[in-house]
Structure 1
Amino acid sequence: MKLLLRLLLAIPLLWLAGFVWFLLSLPAGVEAEVETDAIVVLTGGPGRVAHGVELLQEGYGERLLVSGVDPKVRPIELAEELGVDEALFTCCIDLGKQAENTVGNAFEIGTWVRRNGYTSLRVVTAADHMPRALHEIERELGPSVALVADPVAPKWGLSALATEFSKYTVRSLQMLVGRG
């Protein structure tokens, strides 16, 4: 009985310690000088696509994939929303419309990277989503593709951060035991 009680007390303490580590280890940004072949944006939060397009315009990658785009979205609509010329979408931006979650993003990104022969990627997503996104993309691509984290500000609510940490923890455990 004492062992069970200790275990029940240890689980929340371990979660809390992990959560603090997670918060302290979130990426703050990337040095602008880091060059990559291409840029990928995982949709799902404010500022991500705009940041990716800005990086493309500044020359930090030759092409951009926006992964997880709603199938109904057309390039012209996105160009208008971002205030950029549609020609930029025609020449240099691909909209991935298959992914519905982070695992799907990684698969979509992997397919795009292999098709284009890229060896380095700048990954744009929210800072709190970045650890899980990188984990999934690295799992999909292996060590042959260098990844550079380029985070945007997350939704800094404690609940959203705790949820993302919990998703990261569960997915890491699944991968550890070989079920993912």
Structure 2
Amino acid sequence: MDQQTTERTETTRRRRGPVRRFVRFAFYALLVVGAIFLGGFLYFADVVAALQPPDRPKADAIVVLTGGFQRIDQAVELLKSGAGERLLISGVNPSTSGSQIRRNTQTPRDLFDCCVDIGRQAIDTIGNANETARWARGRGYGRVLVVTNNYHMPRSLLELRRAAPDIEFIAFPVVNSDLKTSNWLSNPMALKTILLEYIKTVAATVRDALGAGRSNGLRADLGGTGT
């Protein structure tokens, strides 16, 4: 090998050195991030699986975050039992009437008319939190029972406490499937639901930590201020 070839080889090695170090660093960094993500996900799933409703729920009022009539049914039962004096159904589609909700939940008319409020402004969980905060403050409630699915509860409480740190929110999770006894990791739908909710919860946590801006999650045409 002549001197010119040797020099070219050494030059190529010097150029490849930093690239190889960068690729190696990026690979290990991805491994660390992946391990943290996986560990956080498993911890999140464990927290969700351990959520249980209180034995004797009692608060000033109740809010249910829409997402299925099972949640609303549970909230109505709490209202009937006296767990709260009034119920807010947050995030109702504007095209859904109160009479439809009353019929679907088989709520007595007198109870529905006197003690159930329907919120139609919220379009997402942030909107649920802001809608609930306005409602609770407007009526002077200091303790509110929160009814939503167990997997949705951590992010719901995060947004609610951010919107109204002066109000105590008490979790009343609705358990659709028992994550403790079922092999949910082998269930594609359950795995997708928990994973997506975990990602949304992490994003909400990072957003708050960075103080990033966000929309208020309310319909501008129904009294919200928009984005």
Q: Where on the TM-score scale, by shorter chain, does this alignment land: which range?
A: over 0.9
Question: 2:71 is matched with which residue?
Answer: 48
Q: CA deviation at 1:10?
A: 1.6
Match of 1:160 among 189, 193, 215: 193
Whole-Å separation in 2 of the counterparts to 1:176 and 1:108: 23
Question: 2:26 is matched with which residue?
Answer: 4
TM-score, normalised by the number of residues in structure 2 = 0.76
Q: Does 1:94 align with 2:117?
A: yes
Question: 1:110 is matched with which residue?
Answer: 133
Mapping of residues 141-160 of structure 1, within 5 Å: 141-142=164-165, 144-154=166-176, 157-160=190-193
Q: Does 1:13 align with 2:70?
A: no
Question: 2:45 is matched with which residue?
Answer: 23
- Kindly indicate whether the alpha-carbon contact (under 8 Å) linking 2:125 and 2:159 is maintained by their aligned counterparts in 1: yes
Uncovered stretches (5+) of structure 2, i.e. residues with no partner: 1-21, 178-183, 185-189, 214-227
Instruction: Give SS of 1:98's match.
Output: coil
Whole-Å separation in 2 of the counterparts to 1:116 and 1:125: 22
Q: What's the RMSD between the two structures over aligned residues? A: 1.3
Question: 1:38 is matched with which residue?
Answer: 61
Whole-Å separation in 1 of the counterparts to 2:201 and 2:153: 10
Q: Residue type matched to 1:150 in 2? A: F
Whole-Å separation in 2 of the counterparts to 1:138 and 1:148: 11
Q: Residue type matched to 1:179 in 2? A: A
Between 24-33 and 6-15, the greater mean CA deviation after superposition? 24-33
Q: CA deviation at 1:34?
A: 3.4
Larger fraction in helix: 2
Whole-Å separation in 1 of the counterparts to 2:198 and 2:176: 13
TM-score, normalised by the number of residues in structure 1 = 0.95
Show CA shifts across 1:44-89 (max 9, x none).
1351100000000000000000000011111111111111222222
Q: Does 1:169 align with 2:202?
A: yes
CA 1:178 to 1:5, structure 2 compared with 1: closer, same or farther past 3 Å? same
Uncovered stretches (5+) of structure 1, i.e. residues with no partner: none
Instruction: Give SS of 1:100's match.
Output: coil
Aligned length: 179
Instruction: Give SS of 2:150's match.
Output: coil
- Kindly indicate whether the alpha-carbon contact (under 8 Å) linking 1:45 and 1:126 is maintained by their aligned counterparts in 2: no
Question: 1:130 is matched with which residue?
Answer: 153
Question: 2:8 is matched with which residue?
Answer: none
Q: CA deviation at 1:154?
A: 4.3
Show CA shifts across 1:124-158 (max 9, x none).
0010100000000000011x211110000247611
- Kindly indicate whether the alpha-carbon contact (under 8 Å) linking 1:37 and 1:118 is maintained by their aligned counterparts in 2: yes
